[in-house]
Amino acid sequence: MHRNILTVAALGLAAIAAACGETAGPDAGAREVGLSFAIAPSGAGLSATLGMATSSSMAALSVTDADGRTLTIERVRMVLAEIELERAGTTGNCDEHPELCEDFEAGPVLIDLPVDGGVITPFSSTIPEGSYDELELEIEAPDGSDDVTLAFLEAHPGWPASASMRVQGTFDADDGEGPQPFDVFLDVQTDLELEFDPLFVVEPDGPGILNVTIVIDVGSWFRDYDGSLIDPRALSADSGLRSTVHDNIEDSFEAFEDLDRAGTPQHE
């Protein structure tokens, strides 16, 4: 059964209340929660900066390795199929316990990540009170035939049905040729389970606006195991490099409470 992405049906809330021993009504204690995205200005073994690209006026993320190669990322777009909060105390995942999970968004939806170092908040949802220990994020190519996916592909006619990410920028191999442009689509299919530490708690009538931020270390994506940068243009001909990049992407996500939407953990 399809779950509403902005509100939760009374029957679903009754199931949650029964499972958690709550007796409050369906709307008791519910709070509006925002979901933000930010990019980390770091990458292990690399010097990294968020700011203005040297080759144009476009804001960008630039990383340089120990050998002088420089990767400048000017745009990152990502297709999300599902974003869900999972209640603390459950086992498994949201597919196994949908009645104990709350949706921020059901997709596919296309997110343009803020490579300029800012924080964006594209989603918000009314979330029932309680403690949540995990945010589940599904990255998936829009290759289905359902109405929502077909509408996505119609709205984005240049987007391949086999791609979940698109990265654009330049790569300078420090070989005298200067920065060379790249535009690559990535077929990353993954279900991420991002744990909250401490728990994300939704309390009724609490102070401020609740918010969760997902920070992504994009600067680490195109890094080989020895710390050197990978030329994105080489991915199409090298399955090993593609596998490395996919692993880096899966390891680059972190989620935490961020009430002021500053892109840093609330409890640091």
The per-residue DSSP string of the chain comes to -PPPSSS--HHHHHHHHHHHT--S-TTTT-EEEEEEEEE-S--TTSEEEEEE-TTSSSEEEEEE-TTS-EEEEEEEEEEEEEEEEEETT--S-TTT-GGGEEEEEEEEEEEE--TTS-EEEEEEEEE-SEEEEEEEEEE------SHHHHHHHHHSTTS-TT-SEEEEEEEE-SSSS--EEEEEEE---EEEEEEEEEEEEE-TT-SS-EEEEEEE-GGGTTB-TTSPBP-GGGGGG-HHHHHHHHHHHHTSEEEEE-TT-SSS-TT-
CB 41 within 8 A of CB 216: no
Q: Cα Rg for the chain, rounded, in angstroms?
A: 20
Asked if residue 4 belongs to a domain, the reply is: no
Asked if residue 27 belongs to a domain, the reply is: yes
pLDDT (mean) for 218-240 = 95
Asked if residue 215 belongs to a domain, the reply is: yes
Asked if residue 1 belongs to a domain, the reply is: no
Asked if residue 50 belongs to a domain, the reply is: yes
Asked if residue 158 belongs to a domain, the reply is: yes
Task: Return the amino acid letter for 206.
Answer: G
Mean residue pLDDT of the chain comes to 83
pLDDT at 241 exceeding the cut of 70:
yes
CA distances to 216, 219, 240 from 72, in Å: 16, 9, 22
The number of distinct structural domains making up the chain is: 1
pLDDT digits (tens, 9 = 90+) for 174-215: 999 999 999 999 999 999 999 999 999 998 877 678 999 999
pLDDT at residue number 54: 37
Give the residue from 7, 4, 259, 268 showing the smallest Cα distance to 121: 259
φ and ψ at residue 246, rounded to 5 degrees:
-65, -40
pLDDT at 26 exceeding the cut of 90:
no
Q: Calculate ∠ Cα 266-33-60, nearest 5°.
A: 65
Asked if residue 231 belongs to a domain, the reply is: yes
Instruction: Print the domain residue range for 195.
Output: 10-257
In the chain, what percentage of residues exceed pLDDT 70? 81
